[in-house]
Each structure stands twice: as structure tokens, then as C-alpha cells.
Amino acid sequence: MTTARRFRVGLVQMRCMPDPAANLATAVARVGEAAREGAEVVCLPELFRSQYFCQREDHDAFDLAEPVPGPTTDALARAARDAKVVVVAPVFERRAAGVYHNSVAVLDADGRVAGLYRKMHIPDDPLFYEKFYFAPGDLGFRAFDTAAGRIGALICWDQWYPEAARLTALAGATVLFYPTAIGWHPHEKAAHGEAQVGAWQTMQRAHAIANGVYVGAVNRVGHEGPADGGLEFWGASFVCDPFGVVLAEAPRDAEALLLAECDLGHLEDVRRSWPFLRDRRIDAYAPITKRLLDE
């Protein structure tokens, strides 16, 4: 058995209220709570500072955006520094007038911005009109050195792409964090709800297995939007180990602070027994960069 460091991660599953200041205050409080419970890395949900505005195309929603560094990262950097904990902090980033990103700032335990990730895959579906708001990320798939080790962050729709997980793992991440805002169209829940949640979790557990990494997916919870429509966010935040074993899972209908231990010795053992990274045929993968192999 390889001797390696263990550390605890905390996922903050929360309801997002109409008041951004209240959401930020909740996030700061949960970071402190997670640290007191022993977490060394705390991850918040995607776009947690507001309700999920991408359900509609509304130019006024751009007023929610802010620079990095900015008010949200400043407040969470103080929380990180006070609690001596790493914070994975989603933010609606205002890069310039008319250029916005769906981003994550990784804040180290001393409050320093350790790195920035900009969401690479931008959806455009009913009630998920993100292409109206966000330019695609241009920083690539990254891993960041922190007081808790080298970690990676991807965002929601990125969850469905094995290439994103692979490249982040190849950059050295031992944990992939997925801040998320995903839910049911209420009229689809009865017919498709279980299958949708199952596919969501299965996909991310597969990323953990294929890359030999821990995965932490953190969602919001609650209904947002019109009472006769909108989205019902399904919660179900979870952490799984490098062989896809679910270590902790939150409920679908309530706020939760989820804690789980990551053991880099276990990661080493899994990769030695299932050496998927060793056996990759990197000489044969060039066609992956094509849209389709139709010629």
C-alpha cells in the first residue's frame, strides 16, 4: 500500500435565492462550516450567486456579471484565508463589455487566486440558453496547485465530455470538481427523471474510472422559475472514488453539506491495478480532433 496524503472535500448543495447578497452570505457561511468539519477543499454550485437566469434570454441579466478578481472572489478569498481552506468558486465573469464567461476561480487556502477555468462546452437548450450569455472558454483544460494538492475544475455541461475529464486528469488533477446547475423540466420528470439523473451520475463515475481520479459533482436544489414551468434542480451532489464507488451522496430535495475523504494512496493503487493511462494508444488518436470520420 502506497503511503500518501489524505484530505477531505466538502460540497455545498444549496438553494439559490433571488438576492445575490444572500446567496453569497450563505456560501461564505457554508465554507466556514465545511472547514470546521475538516474539509480542506470546498466546492460551490455553478452560478450560485443568483438564481439560474439562463432559463431566458434577458439583457438585464448581464448586470449580474463581475470581474475576477471581484466582489464574489474577494469575499470567498477572505473566507478561504480565514478558514485555511481551498475554495472552488463559480462566478459569472465579466471579462470586458460584451464578453462574459461561465467561470470558476480556484482560491487557495491563503486567499490567493490559484487559477481560473472558463467553461468550454456551452449548451443551448430549452431553459438552458447559455450561448446567449457566455463565450466559450479559451484557457483550455487545466489543473491547479493548491494547499490540498493539484485539482481540476470543469463546469456542468462539461460533465458529459470524456475529452474534458481526460485532459484535466492528464494535467495532473487528482480530483475533478464539477460545479453544476442541472434539473428537470417538471413536465418531463415523471417519464424521464430517473433516467436523466442516472445518466448524469453514471457519466461522471465513468470519468473517475477511466482517469483514476476522484470526482465531486455539486448541484443546486429547489424549483426556480414559473410555478407552472421553470426548472426543478435535482440536487444529488456526490463524491466518487477513482473506481467510481460513490462515497457520499446528497438528497434530491434539500440543502446539504457533503463531506468525503480523498486518499491519494488509494488513487495510486487503483491506477496500478487498472492502468488505463499507461495503455492509451496516443499514436492512434489523432482523428479525435475531427468532428466526424465521414470521409
In the chain, beta strands by DSSP E? 6-13, 41-43, 86-96, 99-107, 113-118, 124-125, 128-129, 143-146, 149-153, 175-179, 183-184, 214-218, 221-224, 231-234, 238-240, 246-249, 256-263
Q: Which residue in 256, 258, 255 sits closest to 39, CA to CA? A: 258
Alpha-carbon gap, residue 42 to 88, rounded angstroms: 6
Which of 16, 43, 156, 262 is catalytic? The answer is 156
Alpha-carbon gap, residue 77 to 189, rounded angstroms: 38
DSSP class of 148: T
| Residues with Cβ within 8 Å of residue 219, at least 6 apart in sequence | 13, 45, 180, 181, 182, 183, 233, 234, 235, 236, 237, 250
Judge whether 66 counts as a catalytic residue.
no
The separation between the first and the last C-alpha atoms of the chain, rounded to the nearest angstrom, is 49
Alpha-carbon gap, residue 128 to 46, rounded angstroms: 13
Alpha-carbon gap, residue 136 to 147, rounded angstroms: 29
Report helix, strand or coil for 276: coil
DSSP class of 286: G
Judge whether 262 counts as a catalytic residue.
no
Which of 40, 43, 46, 54 is catalytic? The answer is 46
Judge whether 46 counts as a catalytic residue.
yes
Which of 54, 93, 119, 240 is catalytic? The answer is 119
Q: Catalytic site residues?
A: 46, 119, 156
